[in-house]
Structure 1
Amino acid sequence: MGLDTKPLSTLHGKSSYDLEDFPVPTGREESWRFTPLSRLRGLHDGTAPVTGSVVVEVHPSPEVSVETVGRDDSRVGKAYVPADRVSVQAFTSFEKATVITVPKEAVTSEPTVVNLRGESAEGATYGHLVVVVEPLAQAVVVLDHRGSAVYADNVEFVVGDGASLRVVSLQDWAGDAVHVSHHHAQLAKDATFKSFVVTLGGDLVRLSPSVSYTGRGGDADLSGLYFADAGQHLEHRLLVDHSVPDCRSHVDYRGALQGDEAHAVWIGDVIIRVEATGTDTYELNRNLILTDGARADSVPNLEILTGEVAGAGHASASGRLDDEHTFYLQARGIPYEEARRLVVRGYFAQLIQKIEVEEIRDRVLAAVEAELAR
């Protein structure tokens, strides 16, 4: 399979299954300029020895089926064509893919949990996951990443007519982990997709969620929370491609940073094509910088190719803790450190409440508390 020459936009113009179609990035490219390539440990240039291991364990809801398939399975790569070199490297290098299927009209009784446990950061490994939600079905899927790894993977979410999928992706890696991942959701007519990304661990994590539509009435809600500590690089690059009329998307990512050389990057690209009349979209990113030496880069991009939209907007803000908020609490007898924690809790609270899996919600709350206690 060669290069897809159909132009997508001035923001993203190339997709392919072939590695040779993507030159090794130098860091001067727009899509790589924020990423410290030297810390990717060879994932970007093919020099990473494939000697690592990430164990995948699926704990399915009783209503769903789970299969381990080869790369020749027709469901693999059907919804998503890789859009950069690491993604296509992962696509051409994985050995087995996991396929989770939610049958037509099924309503799952509990979340399906996919545990991905890295066993070593000494060598790279690659993976692929496909989640198919058939028409009118409803499901919740949790992706839980832990351990040490140098890992690149692609995840495809295929949501059928009238179906609903809610996904929680938790990046809780060990401090030496490197993870580069693409999550792509393909929404059919009247499909609903809600994603919540939590990125806390790892030395370098670069996650690229994307959404495309194949029928009217698709609705995507993408939320994210990240907390970068000293030396961490946490990068989220989103793309929502509106190519069908009367679809909706809403993006809300919030981060906090503390410690020397803590670095967070958020890129939000929304494209409204000529044919996507009636689109309703909004994207928001906020970053709370808690200490000196931390840096946040936030770049929202909105490309509108039709004047017939229901709504389109974006916003981005990065700044320090508001002194007025902490002063208000201190004036009521609350010590500064506790006042600081209360303000940050409030900053994240609205987002965390959107996590529908209680166990994961409690775990994220505990993780934020642990970060603030440092």
Structure 2
Amino acid sequence: MPSDHTNATGLTTESSTLAGEIFADGVGAQAGPPTTPAAGTGTAGQATPGAHSHGGPAPTGSPAERFTSTDPDAFGVPTGREETWRFTPMKRIRPLLDGAPSDAHLTWTTDLPEGVELTSVEADDPLLKGLPEPADRLAALARQRSGGAAVVRVAKEAVLDRPVTLGLAGAGSDSPDDAVVWGQLVIEVGAFAQATVVLDHSGLARYAAGVAVLVGDGAQVTLVSVQDWAPGAVHGGQFDAVVGRDATFKQVVVTLGGDLVRLVSNVQYAGPGGSAELFGVYFADETQHQEHRLWVDHAVPNCRSNVLYKGALQGENARTVWIGDVRIRPAATGTETYELNRNLVLTDGARADSVPNLEIETGEIVGAGHASATGRFDDEQLFYLCSRGIDAETARRLVVRGFFADVVQLIGIDALQDRLMASIETRLGALPGLDEQPVEQSA
């Protein structure tokens, strides 16, 4: 049934639903390792009775094998042959992995609502020692080289009247070495507080940073991280969320700019009843490399996680990588989890890698699953739009808008959503009057 209802992106609800229908029949085979357990791969192949594991040939870098340390040397220097680094262009990320000390910094702009404090701590502060440990050499270097951390504190039971906004801008470097900016940010949200925090990255920089979000019991926290870097920027980072008892954490990652962006997002639960939602959109143009790795560790009972990432690629050598790891440990009874990644390849010469991994070590769960799809437009969908009087190029762009819109609108900040959708349209060379050409579709 046709409808005129529109969301914050200006797209009709019906056209937004095209996101789930743009793939032709048969598209969506997992572009990752086989779904048979590998002997000797952590618990895979050695699972307890009733356990279930999706993994690949040893070594897989599967959740069971995950190594963490605050010492960069404990990881060694990556060569690109390691599972953790095999998708990453090592030449481009090498300056971050070399780990040279630097006093370079980004320019910060802040908007702090009442009930929020921005301060800093030294490297030996107990707060930093209690954070989740880095999962690779790059994150360990960022922890070590940052020399402390900026700390955003939200008071317990605070209900913020607007988002906390941190604008992090790079202006490039006049030195021939383009010094790396090292950073560490901790976001502490008190019990039963409600807060949204926006990290808005822009400009030109080589940036390596860690972000830790400590979600108090019963709190509701949304973290939005926008990577809208200038061409040539390199960004490597690790996000860690520790979700308290009956707390809710939502993360929305939007990656559009930069030459190379590699982000690792980790979630662990500090008590039962926690919920984590990890959403993301990414759009890679010619020669861009965008890599997103996720790790959700269910180790306590009755917690929930949901992962949804969508990406599009266009141009020669555009490359995206999505790795999703979920582990359900023996004690995590009552777990409910699902992860989904979809990639839309718009032109020849672009490549998307998608590898969902799920390891279950108890049969006493509510449900668990994963899915991955990579493909081009469904010709029938484009034919449908064209039959409504819309030219082929506009139809193509409308479908891409719909593909991203349902995730972007989860940010919940109208001005930011509009800006991001406008940036996506610019990449597509959006035609004038695009908003005046609605798409109708039967329910």
TM-score by length of 2: 0.81
How much does 1:77 deviate? 4.2
Letter in 2 for 1:331: S
Aligned-residue RMSD, C-alpha:
1.7
The equivalent position to 2:187 in structure 1, one of 109, 112, 131, is 131
How much does 1:85 deviate? 0.3
Written as runs of structure 1 = structure 2, the 5 A alignment for 1:110-149 is: 110-120=162-172, 122-149=178-205
Residue matched to 1:317: 373
Written as runs of structure 1 = structure 2, the 5 A alignment for 1:6-85 is: 11-46=64-99, 48=100, 50=102, 52-85=104-137
Residue matched to 2:232: 176
How much does 1:350 deviate? 1.2
Kept in 1, the 8 Å contact 2:268–2:298? The answer is: yes
Greater relative CO, 1 or 2 (CA 8 Å, sep 6+): 2
Change (3 A) 1:10 1:163: closer
Q: Which consecutive residues of structure 1, in runs of 5 or more, have no partner in the other structure?
A: 1-6
Change (3 A) 1:73 1:51: closer
The equivalent position to 1:218 in structure 2, one of 250, 258, 274, is 274
How much does 1:96 deviate? 4.1
Written as runs of structure 1 = structure 2, the 5 A alignment for 1:344-355 is: 344-355=400-411
CA deviations over 1:238-282 (Å, ceiling 9, x no partner): 000000000000000000000000000000000000110110000
Kept in 2, the 8 Å contact 1:16–1:82? The answer is: yes
How much does 1:13 deviate? 2.7
Residue matched to 1:99: 151
How much does 1:22 deviate? 1.0
Residue matched to 1:4: none
1:113 and 1:72 mapped to 2: Cα distance? 27
1:178 and 1:346 mapped to 2: Cα distance? 29
SS at match of 1:299: strand
Residue matched to 2:19: none
Identity of matched residues, %: 54
1:184 and 1:204 mapped to 2: Cα distance? 21
2:265 and 2:108 mapped to 1: Cα distance? 20
Letter in 2 for 1:27: G
Kept in 1, the 8 Å contact 2:168–2:199? The answer is: yes
1:134 and 1:226 mapped to 2: Cα distance? 31
Written as runs of structure 1 = structure 2, the 5 A alignment for 1:176-195 is: 176-195=232-251
SS at match of 1:105: coil
How much does 1:69 deviate? 2.2
Kept in 2, the 8 Å contact 1:52–1:149? The answer is: no
1:76 and 1:195 mapped to 2: Cα distance? 21
TM-score by length of 1: 0.95
Kept in 1, the 8 Å contact 2:216–2:247? The answer is: yes
CA deviations over 1:115-144 (Å, ceiling 9, x no partner): 111121511110000000111111010000
Residue matched to 2:396: 340
CA deviations over 1:282-308 (Å, ceiling 9, x no partner): 000000000000000000000111111
How much does 1:12 deviate? 3.9
Kept in 1, the 8 Å contact 2:63–2:326? The answer is: no
Residue matched to 1:261: 317
SS at match of 1:297: strand
Is the aligned partner of 1:284 residue 2:335?
no
Letter in 1 for 2:285: D
How much does 1:83 deviate? 1.1
Change (3 A) 1:140 1:13: same
Is the aligned partner of 1:299 residue 2:355?
yes
Letter in 1 for 2:353: D
Is the aligned partner of 1:203 residue 2:259?
yes
How much does 1:49 deviate? 6.2
1:235 and 1:69 mapped to 2: Cα distance? 30
1:44 and 1:302 mapped to 2: Cα distance? 29
How many pairs align? 368
